[in-house]
């Protein structure tokens, strides 16, 4: 969670339906069955886009009760989800680029606006923005490093939400109710609606949409927790509003303005305690020993875009400001009680309660200008520049009771500025063969300052700064031997920016943290093929890739606290992924996806977390797969029916490292202990009817009530290890009524 809540600050302080597939016919924008995406910053058919892209239409998810980003991701090849302690605690990885360190490896965009933070002190990796319930036309999952197009912290890929434009021709709207119940838990309800209308026909239109999500939870608190027993503590309430205006005052000028506001409150987390090693459930499959956690998360976005058609090119300006505020109050005695005993000189077990409060706010302003040539099939180009300014501040306290020992009283501020220029050039050697080269040069300035009253865990420091210049490149060749086949080869680089670091004191009072968290970089090599067979009865999208990753940013531990740094081992990763869609009969589609990922350390790692050469990176399954069938059929001339069924498989994942005897004969003890998250298979089933503007459906998600962990960690604490895991949502049965008008 945000606020660099203690485990983050001490860390830094120191789909579903027919629509999910690479080549499905029911997603994104369609013109004569041609699917168009803008992953390359141009409107290009999905088949001809020389990138590995999965496009998702969230409207197709509604009748199946699939409303969370995790549920979308697990039907997409090469994209992984972990975590889920709260609905805002989403960690996403793509390809073999594990989420090591405190800066994210996957970028998130709403239209042209980068969302979140590249700062190592803003909890960006665990706060992936979930806009599935927003006013979204499609979601593009763009895999592989996107440094030249999307900048820093997109070295694994990008999640891009494309919002709906309001109509400038006629009134339209919709209303939806989704009611469900979760086994072992409570009652869930979602209400949403949208209206869009022209203000000036063909010139100016507006839309407003909103949702309310009340989740009943399914995790219970034990009587031994700091705040006593309680049921369904992972329940939450969330709401969101999206408003958009589009104006076309002349044939050559278009503009849009987007406002988004989301709010979430919760009083607990989806987290169960483990004991070991070997690590097993400490209390029960749906029981937590953590205390109450009062969480509030607020997000606000203002974004405007202007597009001037100059004939030979389009001049595009995107301006945005966003604000995210995360506050939480919880009792973290299970994790930090032993550390407070140590710092206070008390007998172990003296501290029985450790109230923590935190407030973090991150504001970000982004201005981008780019000039994109008209399509001419000979020489096409884009040049541009971007400025991004992130300001983060947080205030945190940690107290040990009953002795009222103040262990932490932090006022921390950090800033990250990025100035970048970018460009790409596409040359058509022939109408069916073209090559593209892209480059981006970025100057990154970061600063951090900290004041801590006790000075026991972190040291007071004046503002320290860091400057870095990073180059990223991409090279692509695309060959289209026929209308039904597109082949591409791509070489690209990516990076996460350098950050000034914070001192973290060891037991002797010495700084155990490096002064700088250095830039980490990678190069990716990819081959792909997309196409159709038998007049579209079979579609496919396959890609193979290889990655070399250097100087990876990492999290390391000192006592029970964490800090940032860089590993001294590089990483090699490679894999294969694909989608196959069959349409054997009218109304019937069968979609299958798979991905294989192998991502391991090249050498013994001794500088950060401790691991042997060849060990797997954290939370990356070797295999994932899914299959989804969708059948639409007529019941009467006015009534249609549909059935959707799906299976998704997620393989075993390591949460840490085993260590052992290194190449030089020394013993390497991992700072992050390992336990395996077992593989799981989840089945979903839904069915319904449509009559005119009304759709009614029923669904059962996690049909066979599979029990599994979606994330977890075994982190060191003073005198031992604190292990916990996040639980897959149990079987949920519900119904949806939607009215379009």
What is the per-residue pLDDT across 523-552, written as a single tens digit (0 to 9) for each?
999 999 999 998 889 999 999 999 999 999
- Containing structural domain, residue 63: 6-740
Give yes or no for a contact between 233 and 292, defined as CB atoms under 8 angstroms apart: yes
DSSP letter at 124 equals G
- Dihedral (CA of 216, 218, 219, 221) sign: positive
Confidence of residue 5 (pLDDT cuts 50, 70, 90): very low
Count of residues for the chain? Answer: 741
Helix (H, G, I), strand (E, B) or coil at 69: helix
Give yes or no for a contact between 206 and 233, defined as CB atoms under 8 angstroms apart: no
Characterize the bridge pairing of strands 293-309 and 113-115. unpaired
Please state the separation of Cα 50 from the chain's center in Å: 23
Confidence of residue 354 (pLDDT cuts 50, 70, 90): very high
Give yes or no for a contact between 316 and 369, defined as CB atoms under 8 angstroms apart: yes
Q: Each residue of 375-406: pLDDT tens digit?
A: 898 999 999 999 999 998 888 899 999 999 99
Q: Tell me whether residue 265 is in a domain.
A: yes
Residue 680: pLDDT above 70? yes
pLDDT the model gives residue 182: 97
Residue 230: pLDDT above 80? yes
Q: Tell me whether residue 1 is in a domain.
A: no
The number of distinct structural domains making up the chain is 1
Question: Mean pLDDT score of the chain, rounded to an integer?
Answer: 88
Confidence of residue 556 (pLDDT cuts 50, 70, 90): confident
DSSP letter at 165 equals P
Confidence of residue 367 (pLDDT cuts 50, 70, 90): very high
Give yes or no for a contact between 561 and 339, defined as CB atoms under 8 angstroms apart: yes
Q: Tell me whether residue 351 is in a domain.
A: yes
Q: Tell me whether residue 234 is in a domain.
A: yes
Q: Each residue of 243-279: pLDDT tens digit?
A: 999 999 999 999 999 999 999 999 888 999 999 888 9
Percent of the chain with pLDDT over 70: 94
CB-based contacts of 525, cutoff 8 Å, min separation 6: 490, 491, 545, 546, 547
Compute the distance between CA of residue 199 and CA of residue 248 in angstroms, rounded to an integer.
Answer: 12
Compute the distance between CA of residue 739 and CA of residue 741 in angstroms, rounded to an integer.
Answer: 7
Residue 727: pLDDT above 70? yes
Most trustworthy range by pLDDT among 68-82, 196-210, 556-570: 196-210
Compute the distance between CA of residue 194 and CA of residue 451 in angstroms, rounded to an integer.
Answer: 46
Give yes or no for a contact between 684 and 698, defined as CB atoms under 8 angstroms apart: no
The phi and psi torsions of 501 (rounded to 5 degrees) equal: -110, 165
pLDDT the model gives residue 11: 33
Give yes or no for a contact between 544 and 594, defined as CB atoms under 8 angstroms apart: no
DSSP characters over 643-694: EEEEEEEE--EESSB--EE-TTS-EE--SSB--EEPPEEEEEEEEEEEETTE
157 versus 563: the higher-pLDDT residue is: 157
CATH of the domain at 290: 2.40.170.20
Helix (H, G, I), strand (E, B) or coil at 63: helix
Confidence of residue 14 (pLDDT cuts 50, 70, 90): very low
Residue 298: pLDDT above 80? yes
Give residue for tokens 């991905």.
Answer: 595
Confidence of residue 35 (pLDDT cuts 50, 70, 90): low
C-alpha angle with apex 638: 633 to 639, nearest 5 degrees? 45
pLDDT the model gives residue 507: 66
pLDDT the model gives residue 339: 87
Judging by beta carbons within 10 Å of its beta carbon (0-12, 13-18, 19+), is residue 191 exposed, middle or buried? middle
């Amino acid at each position: 969670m945000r606020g660099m809540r203690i485990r983050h600050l001490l860390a830094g302080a120191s789909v579903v339906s027919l629509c999910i597939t690479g080549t499905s016919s029911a997603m994104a924008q369609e013109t004569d069955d041609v699917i168009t995406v803008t992953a390359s910053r141009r409107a290009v058919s999905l088949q001809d886009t020389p990138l590995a892209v999965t496009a998702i239409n969230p409207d197709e998810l509604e009748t199946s009760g699939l409303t969370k980003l995790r549920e979308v991701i697990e039907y997409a090849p090469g994209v992984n989800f972990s975590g889920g302690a709260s609905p805002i605690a989403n960690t996403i990885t793509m390809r073999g680029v594990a989420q090591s360190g405190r800066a994210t490896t996957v970028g998130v965009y709403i239209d042209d606006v980068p969302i979140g933070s590249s700062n190592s002190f803003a909890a960006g990796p665990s706060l992936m923005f979930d806009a599935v319930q927003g006013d979204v036309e499609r979601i593009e999952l763009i895999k592989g490093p996107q440094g030249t197009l999307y900048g820093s912290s997109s070295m694994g890929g990008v999640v891009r939400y494309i919002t709906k434009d309001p109509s400038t021709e006629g009134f339209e709207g919709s209303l939806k109710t989704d009611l469900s119940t979760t086994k072992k838990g409570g009652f869930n309800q979602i209400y949403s609606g949208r209206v869009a209308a022209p203000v000036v026909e063909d010139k100016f239109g507006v839309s407003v949409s909103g949702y309310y999500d009340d989740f009943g939870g399914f995790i219970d608190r034990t009587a031994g927790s700091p705040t006593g027993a309680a049921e369904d503590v992972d329940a939450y309430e969330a709401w969101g509003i999206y408003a958009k205006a589009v104006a076309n005052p002349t044939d050559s000028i278009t503009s849009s303005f987007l406002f988004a506001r989301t709010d979430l409150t919760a009083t607990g987390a989806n987290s169960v305690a483990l004991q070991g090693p070997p690590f097993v459930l400490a209390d029960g499959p749906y029981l937590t020993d953590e205390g109450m956690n009062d969480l509030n998360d607020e997000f606000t976005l203002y974004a405007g875009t202007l597009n001037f058609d100059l004939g030979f090119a389009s001049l595009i300006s995107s301006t945005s400001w966003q604000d995210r505020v995360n506050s939480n109050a919880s009792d973290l005695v299970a994790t930090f009680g032993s550390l407070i005993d140590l710092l206070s000189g008390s007998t172990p077990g003296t501290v029985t309660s450790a109230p923590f409060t935190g407030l973090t706010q991150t504001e970000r302003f982004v201005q981008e200008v780019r000039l994109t040539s008209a399509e001419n099939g000979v020489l096409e180009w884009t040049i541009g520049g971007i400025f991004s300014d992130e300001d983060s501040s947080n205030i945190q306290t940690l107290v040990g009771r009953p002795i009222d020992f103040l262990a932490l009283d932090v006022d921390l501020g950090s800033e990250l500025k990025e100035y970048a220029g970018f460009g790409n050039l596409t040359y058509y050697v022939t109408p069916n063969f073209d090559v593209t080269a892209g480059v981006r040069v970025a100057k990154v300035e970061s600063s951090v300052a900290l004041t801590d009253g006790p000075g026991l865990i972190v040291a007071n420091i004046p503002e320290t700064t860091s400057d870095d210049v990073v180059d990223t490149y991409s090279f692509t060749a695309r060959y289209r031997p026929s209308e039904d086949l597109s082949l591409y080869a791509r070489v690209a680089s990516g990076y996460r920016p350098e950050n000034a670091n914070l001192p973290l004191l060891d037991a002797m009072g010495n700084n155990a943290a490096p002064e700088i968290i250095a830039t980490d970089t990678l190069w990716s090599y990819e081959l792909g093929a997309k196409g159709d067979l038998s007049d579209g009865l079979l579609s496919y999208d396959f890609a193979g890739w290889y990655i070399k990753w250097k100087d990876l940013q990492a999290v390391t531990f000192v006592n029970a606290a964490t800090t940032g740094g860089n590993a001294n081992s590089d990483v090699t990763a490679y894999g294969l992924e694909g989608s196959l869609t069959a349409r054997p009969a009218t109304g019937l589609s069968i979609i299958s996806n798979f991905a294989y990922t192998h991502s391991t350390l090249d050498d013994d790692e001794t500088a950060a977390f401790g691991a042997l050469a060849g060990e797997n990176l954290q939370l990356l399954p070797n295999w994932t797969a899914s299959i989804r069938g969708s059948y639409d059929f007529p019941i009467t001339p006015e009534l249609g029916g549909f059935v959707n069924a799906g299976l998704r498989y997620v393989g075993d994942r390591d949460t840490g490292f085993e260590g052992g005897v290194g190449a030089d004969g020394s013993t390497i003890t991992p700072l992050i202990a390992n336990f395996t998250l077992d593989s799981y298979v989840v089945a979903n089933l839904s069915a319904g009817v449509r009559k005119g503007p009304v759709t009614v459906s029923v669904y059962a998600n996690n049909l066979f009530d599979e029990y599994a962990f979606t994330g977890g960690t075994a982190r060191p604490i003073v005198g031992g290890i604190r292990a916990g895991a996040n639980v897959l949502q149990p079987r949920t049965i519900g119904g949806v009524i939607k009215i379009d008008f």
